Amino acid sequence: MHQNKDRLNISVLYVEDEIIFRETISPLLEPRIRELIMAKDGEEGFEAYKVHRPDIVISDISMPRMNGLRMLKKIKKINPQAICIITTSYSDTNYFLDAIDLGVNRFILKPFDIQELINTLKTLSNSIIYKQQLEAEEKRRLQTEEALRESEERFRLMFLEMPGAIVLAHPENGKIIEANNAALKLFGYSKEEFLTFTQKDITEDHYELIDAFNAKAKQKTDGSSIVGEFKVKLASGKSIPVEIKQRSIHYHGSEIFIGFITDISSRKQQEEMRQRYQEALEKLVQIRTEELQKSNEDLKTNIISLHKAQKQIENRSLSEHLLSEISSNLVNIPHYELDNYIRSSLQKLGEFKNARSTFVRIQNKSQTIRQIFRWHSKDCPDATLSDEELIEKQAELWKAISRSKHIIVEPENQAEAENNNAPALTQGLYYQLLYNNEFYGFIGIEHRRQQTRLSEQDTFLPGMLGEVILNAFFRKHDLLRTLEKEETAHALINANTEIMLLIDKNAKVLDLNDKAIEKLKINKGSSLYTSNTKFITVKRLRSALNVFANGEKIQFTDTFKGQYYEHTFYPVLGINSIIDRIAIHSRDITQKVKGEQEIQRQNQFLNSLLESIPSPVFIKNMEGYFIGCNQELVRLTGKPKDQIISKTPYDLSPKEMADFYTLKDKELYKSKGIQNYVSKFIGKNGIIRDIAFYKSLFYDGEGNPDGIIGVMIDITKVKKDEKQLRELNENLENRVKEELSKTENQRQLLIQKSKLESLGELSAGMAHEINQPLGGISMGLENILYKLNDNRLDRDYLRSKIDYLFENISRIKQIISHIRTFSRDQQHISKEKVSISEVIKNALMLIEVQFKSNQVNLIIKHPEEDCFFLGNKYRTEQVLLNLLSNARDAVNQKAVLDSCEPGYQKTIIIRYFSTSEQCIIEVSDNGTGIKPENIGRIFEPFYTTKSDGSGTGLGLSINYGIVQDMGGEIKVESKNGLSTLMRVIFPKFVE
């Protein structure tokens, strides 16, 4: 059922003997009040009151058995504060006088308007609610004071008995305010001795360090602590290291330092041991890392050099192999197959060099010999040209190459080639061909695209091959006449830069090249059987005999005078296709073999180096496979080396760990630097270890990343020690936060207690302020009754009087409402725009009467315009009331002194004004003043100069905290025995 939101939260007992009134009133009242109790006479009404204890009793006067006044007398004996309304149709004043004596609250004449009754109930309901609220607030106040006393006692006991040392100090001068038993025990002083010290008295550190530490604590506005380590002096003369966690707190309205002191002597010893161990470990790791890096750099340099040498050797070897293959075949090819084989050789050359086309152009001066051998890829535009067209196209090239040994034409030096009358052709290499020191043409290679920059080394193969082809061409040309001539054979074998011999079945040297003469010290016509050279050993002669016997080419490798040689023995056919000669090709491969041996030696050195490192080391290739490790890694993993090599992290670790390792490897390849990080690693027997990884890349001969080398350092014990230390610190911090929270609650309770004490002092002023409108109400009611008795009460007069009564009631409500709001806890109310004039007005409303009764001359000085700041007006009002209370006590105290001058006038001045940036309130008095030695302590909690024991020492301490919370400051100026001025400053509010 829908509940009427205007229903009054009261219970009403309605006593009426006439049933018509009960039946009429009941349905009208029930929807408008919480509970309605009906009774038909005084006796029934009295019994109902004892059972239900209603908030309001409405009763007729004249009733059978027991009239309304008798019933009300009995009710008043039970509850003198019972609220009663009399309804009657009698006009006899005796009834009214008796009712007034009983304390009846309202009179309503029958017949009455129901709305009049409802309005009366509303008015009385407000007074009931207000009374209940006052009683509840009084009860809460008593409970709060009791809880505050108990909390203060518990806090002091807990502070004193805390196991850790705690010291409270003044933030300005470092004066020690309080210390618990643990702190006194730690330092060895009595409490009286200890409280005479400052922070600087008990430390051995420079004063500048302590000042900087305190300044840093003041700057912390988020409630967090700062931590510092100091050396403190004990009463025994001994010095010990301590850790101090300090923060600035509001304690009873003051800003003080609370410091938690911990003896860290044993921890310092452990840290020093750990530091020495860490430094030794880091030094060892640094030495090992530097050794490893140096070895790695040396190895990389050697590998690069070896790769370059090996690549050159491989290229040279491939070129020589191709040249040897083509040359050997050209020597033995029948003359009728020579042209096709030349073209086949050009194709091999083109494919080997990844060329677009290759050609050999042979032409003598008389042009009796004029021929082109060429090979083209499918995409070459010159493939469709005839030989004559190609010769015509190469006219300029012919002129240029006839003057130069070779020409290299590239896109970058095209203009230079044109200045030298070179042909404007695509990228290519053209080598001059000489026969008997005469120009007979050139061999050319034209590339599809620029793979690598052409150099002098690229001329070796085409130059040699061109000369071989040229010699083969002239051999074919003069075959029948010059086949047996030495010059032709000599030209052929001398084209090779390696050792070449031509011998017959009797081991007679038929021909040899310059390299053979230089190396073997023999000449043409010598017999290898009788020669002094040891180059032709028994094994080599036996190989030659085998070639003569079976006609098959033989290749093998051996040594001569510490040099390594690769030999090729192949048969040479005569005119009748009879094997009567053998060509011997011997190639010095010493550098190649030594390079391979050096690589093997470097690998052995690397393995020895890895095994000498006391930490686990691994090597991985680009694909993430382990290609090397030392025994320390074997011991860490508990796996033999063959179960690590050729494996990946996914074979040795869970997937999530392996994913992380792989991700870090990718980051290292991307950054190309040195990487270090800490991660988990599953070691022997499945034990999880904390490992610090230090990794770097190594590179191949061309400077490209070739893999990763990494060092692992087990830091499991270090991490465990760090965790234990961190847990100890966290537990201590939690206890500190808990104690600080309790301290803050204590501070708020003290602030509220101060408000309640202030309200107690203001009770006299409140009574006066409330009694004045109450007197007006009483007189107005008497006037109404007087006119009512004389039948001169008209409606306009009654309305004007009622308006006057409600104005006084509203004034009382305003005073009470302000007191209720002022007494609430205002700490969580947000800041708002505050008017200083309004704060002063509200404060004076509560205390002005007291000051007048104490003959205090109160003077207000204010500017023409009001001052505004951001804050809380009720807390500012509390500050002002505390200052005025102190000023009143000071002038009262001076007035009773024997030394007080005659005619002394107690005076307190309130002055407020503003500057461009500040709002300022000043409260000055001509009282007793403050002694200079006490000025520095007046804002300390519980400090008071009042000798009569009336002060708690909390007022100015609470003021200090409230003003600071609102971003302001409070200052004092005083002359002992003459005056005191308190100045409160707030940042000015600007629209």
CA separation for the pair 192, 197 (Å, rounded): 10
**Is the separation of the CB atoms in 430 and 455 below 8 Å?**
no
Q: What is the mean pLDDT of residues 169-180?
A: 87
Termini Cα distance of the chain: 51
Strands 8-15 and 33-39: parallel
Sheet of 907-914: strand order equals: 857-861, 907-914, 918-925, 979-987, 969-975
Confidence category of residue 424, pLDDT binned at 50, 70, 90: very low
Q: What is the pLDDT of residue 815?
A: 62
Q: What is the mean pLDDT of residues 488-494?
A: 59
Q: What is the pLDDT of residue 415?
A: 44
**Is 294 exposed, middle or buried (CB count within 10 Å of its CB: 0-12, 13-18, 19+)?**
exposed
More confident call, 742 vs 268: 268
- Percentages of the chain per state (helix, strand, coil), in multiples of 5: 50, 25, 25
Q: Pick the range with the lowest mean pLDDT from 72-76, 729-733, 878-882, 933-937.
A: 729-733
Q: What is the pLDDT of residue 414?
A: 45
- pLDDT at residue 664 is higher than 70: yes
Residues ≥6 apart with Cβ < 8 Å to 745:
151
Confidence category of residue 650, pLDDT binned at 50, 70, 90: very high
Question: Where do the H-state alpha helices sit in 896-937?
Answer: 932-935
Picking from 957, 981, 982, 960, the residue whose alpha carbon sits closest to that of residue 969 is 960
Mean pLDDT of the chain: 78
- pLDDT at residue 486 is higher than 90: no
More confident call, 648 vs 528: 648
CA separation for the pair 569, 584 (Å, rounded): 5
Q: What is the mean pLDDT of residues 354-370?
A: 83
The listed range with the strongest mean pLDDT (725-734, 811-820, 944-953) is 725-734
**Is the separation of the CB atoms in 223 and 233 below 8 Å?**
no
**Is the separation of the CB atoms in 52 and 37 below 8 Å?**
yes
Per-residue CA distances from 359 to 346, 356, 386, 737 (Å): 7, 11, 13, 92
**Is the separation of the CB atoms in 430 and 444 below 8 Å?**
yes
**Is the separation of the CB atoms in 346 and 377 below 8 Å?**
no
- pLDDT at residue 767 is higher than 60: no
Q: Pick the range with the lowest mean pLDDT from 62-66, 750-754, 929-933, 975-979.
A: 750-754
More confident call, 198 vs 819: 198
Per-residue CA distances from 176 to 152, 239, 257, 820, 851 (Å): 20, 19, 9, 39, 39
Confidence category of residue 949, pLDDT binned at 50, 70, 90: very low
Confidence category of residue 421, pLDDT binned at 50, 70, 90: very low
More confident call, 251 vs 184: 184
Picking from 279, 210, 194, 275, the residue whose alpha carbon sits closest to that of residue 242 is 210
**Beta partners for residue 168, in sequence order:** 178, 258
Q: What is the pLDDT of residue 413?
A: 47
Question: Where do the H-state alpha helices sit in 261-403?
Answer: 265-332, 338-352, 387-393, 395-402
Q: What is the mean pLDDT of residues 170-176?
A: 87
Q: What is the pLDDT of residue 757?
A: 52
CA separation for the pair 61, 323 (Å, rounded): 146
Q: What is the mean pLDDT of residues 458-480?
A: 75
**Is the separation of the CB atoms in 862 and 911 below 8 Å?**
yes
Q: What is the mean pLDDT of residues 915-935?
A: 89
Q: What is the mean pLDDT of residues 893-907?
A: 86
More confident call, 758 vs 711: 711
Q: Is the dihedral of CA 941, 942, 944, 950 positive or negative?
A: positive
More confident call, 962 vs 910: 910
Confidence category of residue 922, pLDDT binned at 50, 70, 90: very high
Q: What is the pLDDT of residue 416?
A: 45
Confidence category of residue 918, pLDDT binned at 50, 70, 90: very high
More confident call, 228 vs 939: 228
Tell me which residue has tokens 């390849």: 669
**Is the separation of the CB atoms in 689 and 679 below 8 Å?**
no
Picking from 944, 962, 947, the residue whose alpha carbon sits closest to that of residue 755 is 962
The listed range with the strongest mean pLDDT (3-17, 25-39, 115-129) is 25-39
Per-residue CA distances from 93 to 104, 107, 108, 464, 880 (Å): 14, 12, 14, 153, 52
Confidence category of residue 895, pLDDT binned at 50, 70, 90: confident
CA separation for the pair 479, 492 (Å, rounded): 14
CA separation for the pair 572, 498 (Å, rounded): 18
Structure tokens at 691: 């490992």
**Is the separation of the CB atoms in 759 and 878 below 8 Å?**
no
Strands 857-861 and 428-435: unpaired
Q: What is the pLDDT of residue 900?
A: 84
**Is the separation of the CB atoms in 636 and 712 below 8 Å?**
yes
- pLDDT at residue 382 is higher than 70: yes
Q: What is the pLDDT of residue 12?
A: 92
Q: 983 in helix, strand or coil?
A: strand
CA separation for the pair 503, 486 (Å, rounded): 12
Tens digits of per-residue pLDDT, 441-458? 888 888 765 555 666 667
**CB atoms near residue 634 (< 10 Å):** 16
Q: What is the mean pLDDT of residues 575-604?
A: 77
Q: What is the mean pLDDT of residues 475-491?
A: 57
Rounded to the nearest angstrom, the gap between the alpha carbon of residue 685 and the centroid of all alpha carbons in its chain is 36
Q: What is the pLDDT of residue 613?
A: 74
Q: What is the pLDDT of residue 76?
A: 86
Confidence category of residue 983, pLDDT binned at 50, 70, 90: very high
- pLDDT at residue 377 is higher than 70: yes
The listed range with the strongest mean pLDDT (99-103, 117-121, 461-465, 730-734) is 117-121
- pLDDT at residue 237 is higher than 90: no
Q: What is the mean pLDDT of residues 138-167?
A: 75
Q: What is the pLDDT of residue 764?
A: 45
More confident call, 668 vs 461: 668
Tell me which residue has tokens 């038909």: 40
Residues ≥6 apart with Cβ < 8 Å to 813:
none
DSSP 8-state symbol, 808: H
Picking from 434, 467, 475, the residue whose alpha carbon sits closest to that of residue 336 is 475
- pLDDT at residue 419 is higher than 50: no
Q: What percent of the chain has pLDDT over 70?
A: 80
More confident call, 152 vs 573: 573
Q: Pick the range with the lowest mean pLDDT from 88-97, 210-219, 408-417.
A: 408-417
Sheet of 165-169: strand order equals: 176-179, 165-169, 254-263, 239-251, 226-233
